[in-house]
Structure 1
């Protein structure tokens, strides 16, 4: 008897659950139907009321509806005339270098200025950009460092004065171009530019190479040396005392790991700022590199020549206040940090 009663109660519960489930399904379908037809009481299509029971069909209807609305906004179309396309969204302007006057692209060699080949005399005579004059960058050094009087004399002999624009180019195989850019900056020459990629990039862009030396008339060159563009032993202590100072090591990380100028110096090697050794990276890349390592108002000391000449140039190109240490005398100072036991 007790078993029959329990079975009867269980059957009643099952029936009740089934009835409740049916009611929920009916209610859900009703809600979906209301959503699908919301806003369509007049029979018009509602572009903001998705039909969740047939979403693909609703999306196709919405596209057709929007095209129809666009045609109506553009006014009546003549027979066979296509509807006006939507207005194009203007593209974001590409970023540019902060100092675009300091870089000449191989395609821009027709700009006015004196083109200066800083390779050796033999390389120059074997083939140079037409009209270029020649000063070999290594002839300006003593013990690997710039001798300003030699540069001043060479510029005068090549008929160049301090008021003229100079477009420098060298070879992608050495630091001649960036070195000469720094040397002219130190000398106080205002209007200078560096050919990106050197003579090799110019050739690839179709520049004509001549074997005829340029005819020049010697002149007098007057320098206006900027001492703040060169850090010397006597000035290093004062520089390091500045609050807004950053120190960048241009050598590769293995050299940086062995010795560096202070624990606060940061490694920024050549491969980070140049592609394939000679073509400088885009402005957006340089901007990100420098913003992560320096502040806009910082004075930036770069060291680790010869790589430092490239880094100095890239910093100036991006508007930074850069100065440079020549040679490795800094290793003998009290601020040098060595990890070699």
Structure 2
């Protein structure tokens, strides 16, 4: 028991001695590693964290080498700065790159040059003065010229396309606060009808027919107005009611008798397909589309080519079905110096002689007929009986 005890004590002493040596060796190893890492890290301190050269981090172990690298670095930076200046100068002196959207902007704000009476009657957005009353004739607009009053042009036309009685038309204008002495600018369009200036131009004709002296047409749409930086509104303005007193200019509206006996030149302004189906005898076809370009009246020099077949010393009667589109051609003719009058195909048809007979019987002989053979049709009519 005593022997075992002594052995145990001896082993414990050896363990204590080994433990102290081991600890010393571990501490020495850690210090060696740290010193080695510090030595290896010195060159890195002369650069960035990625090992790139740092011009503000001297290499104290190799100052000569660091200075040589810094000189090379500074030269490289100067070369790069010089190259950047040359590139910038080339860009400034280079031809501008065409803007693909430039044409679109020009087209949306297309405004033909106006001269003579065209410049007097067709007013650009920026030339509308505060003293002008803007009359918007749109039937269902969602945006208006700020301060514009709205009278739907469809209210001027009765059933079947006839012009309403003058008393009803002047009441519409008076209720909207329009008087005969106002300086008017007609604006708006019928978007459900496909847009375009015909409703505004027709209203211009109507006001001239009523004897309104100071009236013009906005040369452009509400989008052109907004593009000019002018104010718009989601609602139309309201003006106090007044009385509109007309002074009719009857020569602006042709009658059936004038068309037949007045020696006028007749212009059918309907599309060619309608003209081909039927027209007033002697009429020439000048479709209303021929006087419009990008929803505006063409310049005067272009219209001269359109009207080159007409004589200025003879009156001109222009018609379409109810006269609205015909007003475009009337407007262009009037500003071009022609004595033009508006008319309608509807009035022409209504004034044609009535066929006062009715069909009573039709007979074909032979019936049926063989292919390649002929047959004779006999129709029987009797005069209509007038009610007594």
Do they fold alike, i.e. is TM over 0.5? yes
What residue in structure 1 maps to residue 158 of structure 2?
142
Structure 1 alignment gaps of length 5 or more: 1-93, 336-341
State the Cα RMSD in Å: 2.3
Equivalent runs, 1:225-240 vs 2, <5 Å: 225-232=248-255, 236-240=256-260
Give the TM-score normalised by structure 1.
Answer: 0.62
Contact 1:115 1:131 survives alignment (8 Å): yes
Please, which of 302, 306, 312 is the counterpart of residue 289 of structure 1?
306
Residues 227-258 of structure 1 deviation map (CA, whole Å, 9 limit, x = unaligned) = 222223xxx23443234x21111111111111
Q: Does 1:190 align with 2:213?
A: yes
Higher relative contact order (CA 8 A, sep 6+): 1
What residue in structure 2 maps to residue 275 of structure 1?
293
Please, which of 309, 323, 327 is the counterpart of residue 309 of structure 1?
327
What residue in structure 1 maps to residue 179 of structure 2?
161
Equivalent runs, 1:238-257 vs 2, <5 Å: 238-243=258-263, 245-257=264-276
Contact 1:260 1:331 survives alignment (8 Å): no
Contact 1:231 1:323 survives alignment (8 Å): yes
What residue in structure 2 maps to residue 171 of structure 1?
189
Please, which of 324, 327, 331 is the counterpart of residue 342 of structure 2?
324
What residue in structure 1 maps to residue 232 of structure 2?
209
SS at match of 1:297: coil
For 1:238 and 1:216, how far apart are their aligned partners in 2? Answer: 40
TM superposition shift of 1:321: 1.5
What residue in structure 2 maps to residue 98 of structure 1?
117
For 1:310 and 1:182, how far apart are their aligned partners in 2? Answer: 9
Give the TM-score normalised by structure 2.
Answer: 0.55
TM superposition shift of 1:197: 2.9
TM superposition shift of 1:117: 0.6
Q: Radius of gyration: which is bigger? A: 2
Equivalent runs, 1:60-71 vs 2, <5 Å: none
SS at match of 1:152: helix
Structure 2 alignment gaps of length 5 or more: 1-112, 354-388
Contact 2:176 2:240 survives alignment (8 Å): yes
Contact 2:143 2:222 survives alignment (8 Å): no
Residues 210-235 of structure 1 deviation map (CA, whole Å, 9 limit, x = unaligned) = 12442412211100112222223xxx
For 1:189 and 1:303, how far apart are their aligned partners in 2? Answer: 22
For 2:288 and 2:230, how far apart are their aligned partners in 1? Answer: 27
For 2:207 and 2:304, how far apart are their aligned partners in 1? Answer: 24
Please, which of 112, 127, 139 is the counterpart of residue 108 of structure 1?
127
Residue correspondences, number: 232
Please, which of 152, 170, 175 is the counterpart of residue 170 of structure 2?
152
For 1:307 and 1:95, how far apart are their aligned partners in 2? Answer: 22
Contact 1:251 1:267 survives alignment (8 Å): yes
